Each structure stands twice: as structure tokens, then as C-alpha cells.
Structure 1
Amino acid sequence: MTTVTISSKGQIVIPKKIREMLGLTMGNKLKVSQENKKIILVAEPEVKPAELFVSASPHAADRALEASRGVDEAKIKKMLHELGIK
């Protein structure tokens, strides 16, 4: 276990070895919580725009909506059948 010192501004330095092991670099964000007398730091995953958006053809959205409607219709038919409604 490594000991760190709190600065006059309430800051600490995360030891280099730990930063490297976790892949933390400047600008990464950490969530801070407290549990009893423990301070818990959890690295927020870095999300890149490419991971949020998908490039698709103009008709891809139409196909996805059509497939979704098919799934919804199947669920509705099953529910109605289970309720004894035709």
C-alpha cells in the first residue's frame, strides 16, 4: 500500500505505477465516493465518439425499424394469444 499526502488545496497525487497500471492519463475523470472511512476512486470509462455512433447506409434505419416492428408485433401476438384473444 502506498501513502500519499493531501496538499493545502485538498489534492493528492496518484502514484505513477498505479496510473500506468490503470491506463490513467491527464484529463481522465474519476468518480469519488466514500464508504465508512474509505475514499473510493473509480475511473470513468473513456468513451470515444466512434463508440457512440455507427455509420450506416441510408436504408439501414428503415431496416432496423422494420425489424423492431416485427419483434414488437410478435410480442403483441403472443400476449394476445396467452390472454385468449385472437
Structure 2
Amino acid sequence: MAHPLPPDWEFPIRLWPLLAEAKQQVGILEGLGRNLPNPAILLRPLADREAIRSSSLEGTYARNATGLPRGYLRWLLHTRADKP
């Protein structure tokens, strides 16, 4: 069982600017997402990528629903991961 955090624990002061920046960026993304006609267009590929990666870690592979060849998704995942 994990030990609980001390009751007076706080983020170190040096992290505050990073936390503020992260909060701002999340707010920007939230605003952009509200303007999308169909946010699932962006979310579905991320969910699919996560499913592919977790399946490969577990050694199980589900049938893909895209109709694309199975190897294509793996190739696409790795080629896109190499690009910034």
C-alpha cells in the first residue's frame, strides 16, 4: 500500500511557472476543442493509437475497425512517432 502524502505537501516553488504554463495550454486546447464541429475527429485516432500500443505491450491484437491492413496501422504509428 502506498504511503499517503504529508498533509502540508505542496508543489515546489520552482514548478509553479511550469504548472501555470500547463494550465494555460490546457485552457487553450479546451477553447479550440469547443469550436470543433466534431471533436471525436481528433480524439478517435488518439484512442486508437493508445489501444494499439497497449495491445502490443500485452501481446494481444484486436481486429481493427478501419478496414486497413493490420500492418499498415503499426507502420503508420511508428512513422508518425518519428516525426515531431
Question: TM-score, normalised to structure 2's length?
Answer: 0.29
Question: TM-score, normalised to structure 1's length?
Answer: 0.28
* Larger Rg over CA atoms: 1
Q: Which has the higher strand share?
A: 1
